[in-house]
Each structure stands twice: as structure tokens, then as C-alpha cells.
Homo-oligomer: A and B are copies of this chain.
Amino acid sequence: CEEERERLLAQAQKPAITRDGHKVTVKANLELLDEIPLAIDFGAEGVGLFRTEYLYVVRKTLPGEEELFANYRQVVESLYPHTVTFRTLDLGGDKFAEELDLPAEINPALGLRAIRLCLKNPALFKVQLRALLRASAYGNVRIMFPLISGIEELREAKKFLQEVYLELKEEGFSIELPPCGAMIEIPTAVFIADHLAKEVDFFSIGTNDLIQYALAIDRGNEQVAHLYEPLHPGILRMIDYIVKAGHKAGIQVAMCGEMAGELLYLPLLIGFGFDELSMNPQSIPAIKDYICSLSFKKCRQLCEEVIDFSSAREVKEYLENWLGKEGLLS
């Protein structure tokens, strides 16, 4: 086991390319500056999800632009030349900033969180966007908006980004507008993914939230946690639909939920055609290694076969059987 870990680490810097030559970019989900060196050691080819709530939740007051900028700049510089995809504030739900003093909600997961909260608090949002845009001058930055439910919300968020960009240019900052993406984690966004794809540079599927909302369960609730099932055919069809809509519009599609870091699901994710998978840094070496052992063509066939199954149980049985036949069972 120790040997296996060393083998994986030794190969972790190699790209993840299937046996038949299909490359998938493997990135890290991070929250702290300190995690960057380890993520690079583990073979991360950039950061697919940089969470930005930390500086807001650990203290009594909101951070200001300079503090955020200094932090983001360090992140961007430490990762250079890799790309870092910052998720704009995903507060609310179960993460709170004391100074915002938000009212208690009966169903916080269905409440004022993420992009909704930012659009209702332009000052909060703009301070972060200013810091992100200023930091973007120091490396390769992408910005993504969480919890997008419709085209109007997306346009509103992009308008703020554009506004802040023009303000900063006016103030003399030498910056460019970074690529901008939408997290697809709300069921209505799946159903209009074709429209959303025309207005962003990339998609990133947040499977944790998507699965929760799509199944209407709070997976932190042990009474219904048994229903949380990434292999539910409804979930697989959603994922398939998102990737196809993104590719049809010529944009890249990433996954940054926990599902992306699970070996069991990997043949399906490769088959669906994800351009990028982003995960816990610790999972990267094994995932990269596993991708190298797969055939893209066979993974695609697998997806075509399971996509019309009617239950998660059938999908799982078929998948395990397939792994056995392919000699991929550990």
C-alpha cells in the first residue's frame, strides 16, 4: 500500500491521458493558500474550484478589498502558470459571515445563498469582484458564479463583473476580463444549459448541490441520506445533457463536486466527455493513474449503455460488471 502510494506520487506529474489518447485535465479543489504546494505535488494541473468563503466566515467583520486582493494575488502567483478558477462567494446555506447578520431561514439550503446573496448585496459582491480582477493581472484566473438558476441571474452577475472591470480600467489598472463560467448545480440550469452555454466561457458542475437539489434531499440529513445517489439515472442524464450542451456551444465542461474524485464513477465521467475534473488534492494521483488505464472509446460505449437504465441499482451492477470485464476492479 505504501509502495502503491509512492508509485502514484512518482507518476502524479504526468498528464492524465487514456490508452487511446484522450486527455483530461485534473485539477484541485482548494480553499487555502497553504494547500497549494501539496496540490502541485499531488499533480494538480491548476485549481478548478477555489472556494472564497474562508476570509468571511472566520471573523466578525467583512474583509476589505485590499485584504482580499493580497490573498487572491498570492494564490494566483503561487499557482502560476497554472490557472485558478475562483468561485465567487458561496455564503448562506450553512456558511455565514457574522457582519452580514442574515435572518434565519426555515430551509437555508433553499434560501438566500451564493449568487443570490451577492446580487442582493452589490457592495459585498463588487468588493470581491474588484479584488479578483486586480489579482487576475498576476497570473491565470477564471471566475465562476455559483448556484446560477437562469439566464437573467447570469446576466446580472456578468453585468457586475463588466461594471467593476470598467471601473478598474478607469482607475488605471491594467487588467483584462478573465474567462467567466457558470456552476451548473440547479436543476433549471440543466434544462436551459444550451442557453447558458452561449453566455459563458465554461461550465463547472457542482455535483454535491446538483444531486441534493435534483433529488430534493439534504444529504447532511441522515434520515434521507440513503437517497443521495450519484448513479441515479436522472442524475446521469442531467450530467450527460450538460456536457453535450456545453460542447455543442464550444465551451469546456468541468466537474468540481465530490463525485469527480471517486474511482467508481470515473469511467462514466470520462465517457461523458468532461474536459476537466477537479477534486480533493489527495485524490489526484490515483485518479490520474486510473484515467491512464481507461479507454475513452469504451467509456463512451459504457455511458451509451447505462444512460437508459431505469434505476441506480442497475447502473451500479452493470458498472461493476464492466469494471470486472475490463480488469479494472481493485
Closest to A311 in B: B151
Whole-angstrom distance from the CB of A281 to the nearest CB of chain B? 28
The reply to whether A216 and B311 form a contact with Cβ atoms under 8 Å apart is no
User: Which interface class (under 10, 10 to 19, 20 to 34, 35 or more) fits A?
Assistant: 35 or more
B188 near A149: Cβ-Cβ < 8 Å? no
Known A150-B234, A237-B192; judge A223-B120 contact (CB<8 A). yes
Interface residues of A in 207-228 (CB under 8 A from B): 209, 212-218, 220-221, 223-224, 227
Task: Collect the chain B residues with CB atoms within 8 Å of residue A251's CB.
Answer: none
Q: How far is the CA of A137 from the CA of B109 in the complex (A)?
A: 43
Which of A40-48, A52-60, A110-118, A256-264 lies at the interface? A110-118
Q: Are B312 and A150 in contact (CB under 8 A)?
A: yes
Q: Would A105 and B152 count as touching, CB distance under 8 A?
A: no
Chain B residues within an 8 Å CB radius of A214: 186-188, 191, 213
Q: Are B312 and A216 in contact (CB under 8 A)?
A: no
Residues of B near A232 (CB, < 8 A) are 149-150, 188, 192
User: A100 → chain B, closest Cβ, in Å?
Assistant: 12
Give A119 Cβ to nearest chain B Cβ, in Å.
Answer: 10
Does residue A321 face the partner (Cβ distance < 8 Å to B)? Answer: no
User: Are B111 and A108 in contact, with the CB atoms below 8 A?
Assistant: no
User: For the complex, is A89 an interface residue (Cβ under 8 Å from B)?
Assistant: no
